[in-house]
Amino acid sequence: MTGQEVLVRCEDAARTFGRGPTAVVAVHGATCQIRAGDRIAIAGPSGSGKSTLLHLMAALEKPTSGQVTWPGLSQRPPAGAIGVVFQGPSLIPALTAVENAALPLVLAGVADSAAQLRAAHALALVDATDLANRLPEELSGGQAQRVAIARVLALGPRLVLADEPTGQLDRTTGQHIIDVLLTAADELGAALVVTTHDPTVAQRLTEQWAMHEGRLVPASTARPPAGTEPRQKGRTP
């Protein structure tokens, strides 16, 4: 079944930075998997290893030991199959919103006209059509983050990894960004994983995982029925 297809699998994946006595283990032997259709929050304080785990899933980092595979995608994720939303939007100041959203497509060799059409559709997915011709300096923090999300969505990813996407925003704007991500993931049929230190953000997703000092804590189902214990998933983590 498509809903059961494993997109990313981490098997005892660890990541250490540095060597010798100054080495820092950012992730200790994480074992988990992301399936098509998943809506997962990974919660934990700053420095707990959330971002590093996300970077391993996105192939932005290589595990020091263990392995990360993408059985539902390929041996390594093909370009565009995994989209990463970072904490800061990092838009190109000289480009308009639609040009920023189209940039990864243009760099991938898509014709300008086709890239602009896909970027415009992505802006519509995040309710930012009216921002298309604005420069980054003309956008609020929340608007800029929506454009950054559109830039990822324009690639048509099957998995969206959002690394603290609300970390630089006030709570109301942050909740709107989560609305945008959930709606866009539904429209694209993409899995969504969000790292956050905000429990109110984590509760918006179906499953919550947690990182503590680089260790992944078993998943639980969000919002269990009153009077019941959280149901443990029949899969790792």
**Would residue 193 count as lying in a domain?**
yes
- Provide the pLDDT for residue 35: 94
- Provide the pLDDT for residue 237: 59
Q: Is the peptide bond before 104 cis (omega within 30 degrees of 0)?
A: no
**Would residue 233 count as lying in a domain?**
no
Total domains, the chain:
1
**Would residue 235 count as lying in a domain?**
no
Domain region containing 83: 2-221
- Provide the pLDDT for residue 218: 65
- Provide the pLDDT for residue 220: 56
- Provide the pLDDT for residue 217: 81
The CATH number assigned to the domain holding 148 equals 3.40.50.300
Rounded distance between C-alpha atoms, residue 42 and residue 236, angstroms: 13
**Would residue 230 count as lying in a domain?**
no
**Would residue 208 count as lying in a domain?**
yes
Rounded distance between C-alpha atoms, residue 99 and residue 140, angstroms: 17
Q: What is the pLDDT along the chain (237 residues), one digit of tens a residue?
A: 344 799 999 999 999 999 888 999 999 999 999 999 999 999 998 889 999 999 999 999 999 999 999 998 876 777 689 999 998 899 999 999 999 999 999 998 999 999 999 999 999 989 899 999 999 999 999 999 999 999 999 999 999 999 999 888 888 988 999 999 999 999 999 999 999 989 999 999 999 999 999 999 865 544 433 333 333 333 455
**Would residue 229 count as lying in a domain?**
no
Helix residue spans in 48-198 (DSSP H): 50-57, 97-107, 112-125, 141-153, 171-188
Q: With H, G, I as helix, E, B as strand and everything else as coil, classify residue 73.
A: coil
The pTM of the full predicted model, rounded to 2 decimals, is 0.87
**Would residue 168 count as lying in a domain?**
yes
134, burial (CB in 10 Å: exposed 0-12, middle 13-18, buried 19+): middle
